[in-house]
Amino acid sequence: MPLAPATKRRHLPSKGVAATQVSTLTPIPAPIGGINYRDNIMVMPPQDAVSLTDVLCRTNGVELRPGWREHVTGLSQAGNTNVSTLLPYIDKSSAANNKLFAALGTSIYDVTASTGSPGAAVQVTAASNGIWSHTMFSNTADGVFLCLVNNGGGYYTFNTVAGWQVRTLTGGPANINNITSITAMKGRLWFTFEGDSSFYYLAIGAVTGALSAFALGPWLKHGGALAACTTWTQDGGTDIRDFPVFIGSQGDVIVYDGFDPSSAATWSQVGAWYIGRVPVNDKFHTRVGADTFVLSEQGIVPLSMLVGGRWTESVQNNPITSKIQNGLIPEVSGSLSTLSWELQVLPKLDSFMIKQPVTTNGTHRQWMRSLTTGAWSLFNGIEMLSTVLFDGTFYFGRSDGIIGVGLEEGFDTDHQLLAGTAGAVIEGDSQPAFIPYGTSGQLKTFHAARMIFVTTSAPSVAVQMNTQFNTDAIPGSPAFVPGGGARWDAAFWNQAFWAGSSSTFEVWAGLVGVGYFGSLRTKVRGLPGTSWSGAHVLHEPGGMM
């Protein structure tokens, strides 16, 4: 067959072909699981955090903490401006009689009223550090007392009828004025003394008088002195019982059942345990619900687990502090003799606080645990020498003669002045867990993130993508001006909202970064309660490298 010449064809314009989508949008949750110093950084749950400061972990997001304002200023005693102890007096007959006192050096001031200057000072014969252990106690004959002791200054009481009184104790140790703690339990007052392994107690209902002693030296197997007395409550199903608990400075915990140590018929030992050394001052333990938490070198020890045989020294099995153990324990061990570690429950924040002494580099830090979720975060930069709950409100003393009040709704900035001038805007900083954004062996290029917030006023946000397990902080701070108006190029058309109501804000932020793993570091400035709910991250997968 002969070859025929090729037929010329008319070229038609090619049809457009849609480009293949190469970018991926991945949702990431807010780090509501809290700080995690326990798990390997490559397998950490995505809802946990590498870093989390000045926010609270809630069920639907992480929200900016509240601020605080001045309550009283100008406290000073012979040049000493350290507000070392706050002392609440709560009367059973009338709330009008309630008082808040502040101890500085050898003086105690009435700071109940929020004014520019404190009330009259009471001069007491106390050690110069102003550190007092205190408890409320009442009896039918004399009424309600604030009972307080000082290591070097002895024993005082206050009530609205008799005022301040120096109390004399007899029958105690030779160092009768060196009292380290006082506790009310089982209808009587109990005391510990410096360098003494015995506890001492008064008769039932007595505020002063002769002390009786009970030696615990044989049960302090790790040595040291008795540091504190407290109680632990057990719900046995048919009844609720309070057990006296005695804690040694080196970590021995001895639990008894009964109310009268002088009678074998009404006093018996439940058992003895070891939890590691405890800090100085007797504020290293507190009641949380029906349980008692104790801070030691092993973290927070719930006495219910200790006495119930469910406690273990293993970090993995500490249900309270397991995730922060690797960060908390070095801090506790390195400052056992530094004043002062304190435990506090803040009901209005739904939180449990560990107040840490100022660190060696001058950092003020509080470890915050959500009572609902159990997640931990950190507060940084709020100086607290002493803390107290008074009439349900949180107060704290500082080293500059100021008593602060707040950390609850209505306090929008830090260090608001008595005159009403606003203070510093609250700034939260968070870095969630590193995640592979698909396949861990594949490089990704990160382009942008859509940040989602629920709040009453649009926050200011700075975002960066940290890759390859980098934890670099975001330099500087985003500017924030409170207000509920829409923002150009960030607000949504036809979605205005009434002032004061919560609304959803979505903010796109450009990202730069290439890596196998990524973590969205976020810095937020805004009103307290501003909640970061999560984000969508736009990234482009690359080849296997």
Q: What mean pLDDT comes out for the span 241-269?
A: 95
Whether residue 296 contacts residue 276, with contact meaning beta carbons closer than 8 Å, is answered with yes
* pLDDT higher than threshold 80 for residue 466: yes
Q: Which residue has the tokens 């409550």?
A: 233
What is the share, in percent, of the chain residues with pLDDT greater than 90? 74
* Position 346 confidence tier, pLDDT thresholds 50, 70, 90: very high
Compute the mean pLDDT over every residue in the chain, rounded to the nearest whole number: 89
In a domain, residue 174? The reply is: no
Q: Which of 206-215, 286-295, 518-527 has the lowest mean pLDDT?
A: 286-295
Residue 430 CA: distances (Å) to CA of 322, 368, 501, 514: 20, 14, 25, 20
CB atoms within 10 A of CB 157: 18
Range of the domain at 530: 24-65+428-544
CB-hemisphere CA count at 13 Å for 232?
24
- Residue 12's pLDDT band, with cuts at 50, 70 and 90, is low
Domain assignment present for residue 28? The answer is yes
Q: Is 106 left (phi over 0), alpha (psi -120 to 50) or beta?
A: alpha
How confident is the model at residue 234, as a pLDDT?
81
- In tens, the pLDDT along 162-193 reads 999 999 999 999 999 999 999 999 999 999 99
Q: What is the pLDDT of residue 485?
A: 44
For residue 525, which of 402, 442, 436, 430 has the smallest C-alpha distance? 430
Q: Is residue 342 part of a domain?
A: no
Give the count of domains, the chain: 1
Whether 338 shows a pLDDT value over 70: the answer reads yes
Per-residue pLDDT, averaged over 359-382, amounts to 94
Residues in the chain: 545
Between CA 295 and CA 284 the distance in angstroms is 5
pLDDT digits (tens, 9 = 90+) for 118-159: 777 887 866 778 999 999 999 887 789 999 999 999 999 999
The SS3 of residue 265 is: helix
- Span 108-128, pLDDT tens digits: 999 999 987 777 788 786 677
Nearest to 452 by CA among 503, 499, 495, 489: 503
Residue 203 falls inside a structural domain: no
CA-CA distances (angstroms) from residue 194 to 57, 128, 185, 512? 40, 16, 21, 59
pLDDT in tens, 469-498: 999 999 999 988 776 444 434 444 444 444
Residue 470 within any structural domain of the chain: yes
CATH number reported for the structural domain that contains residue 481 in this entry: 2.60.120
- The two structure tokens encoding residue 273: 């345990």
